[in-house]
Amino acid sequence: GENVEQHPSTLSVQEGDSAVIKCTYSDSASNYFPWYKQELGKGPQLIIDIRSNVGEKKDQRIAVTLNKTAKHFSLHITETQPEDSAVYFCAASLGYGNKLVFGAGTILRVKS
Amino acid sequence: GAVVSQHPSRVICKSGTSVKIECRSLDFQATTMFWYRQFPKKSLMLMATSNEGSKATYEQGVEKDKFLINHASLTLSTLTVTSAHPEDSSFYICSAIRLQSSYNEQFFGPGTRLTVL
């Protein structure tokens, strides 16, 4: 089955700096890769996703890149703000109706 | 955006009792909903996949007789924890996929904190 590894487990950055979180997946058939932000005591919130027919996607300060050959994808957050502090999860899926396999999560701390 | 609600947000119960958690898609229809369990500082662990009008599919190691799932309509799925034990205490989260979506975008509820005394 699919296995997703996520690094780093914790990341501290200064406000205004960039943050990068990386994930690798094992199943080459996976074709959907979302990123979720989870704040303490709340459910995960979808912040950006990418499908296997696209190499990069950007939404304001957030971007995701996908390398299908290497089977890894990354989340990039630029100009970080204190409110970006949260746990971020990557996931991989085989497509519609299939389960998401999550990475272990990254605790992002943005210091002001 | 797609909104998913859960009720209750918090529940405390005694050992041996049953607790029902509701998951609703408020502004869209969902043929498929998922139930997850999350331990403190851990990732989400999929418990089961709930499909409207059919039996749920449980992940390996999840007791289907203990965690009863019913997906009675395109907007509601329920998880009932039967004969609750303290080790069932956890954060339970549901997610839903939009009926019209061709991709696997899952929208999550806010979660339910279950404490079993």
| pLDDT one-digit tens code per residue, B10-32 | 999 999 999 999 999 999 998 89
> H-helix or E-strand containing B41?
none
Q: Give the pLDDT confidence of A1-51 residue by residue, as tens digits.
A: 889 999 999 999 999 999 999 999 999 999 999 999 999 999 999 999 999
Cβ atoms A22, A6 nearer than 8 A: yes
Find the closest chain A residue to B3 by CA distance: A45
Pick among B104, B107, B108 to test the A interface (most A CBs inside 10 A)? B104
Cα(B44)–Cα(B53) distance, integer angstroms: 25
Contact B111 A97 (CB under 8 A): no
Among the partner residues A46, A94, A95, nearest to B107 by beta-carbon distance: A46
* Cα A62 to Cα A90, B43, B114, distances in angstroms: 14, 22, 33
Contacts of residue A95, defined as CB under 8 A and 6 or more positions apart, other chains included, come to A31, A32, B103, B104
pLDDT band at B116 (very low <50, low <70, confident <90, very high): very high
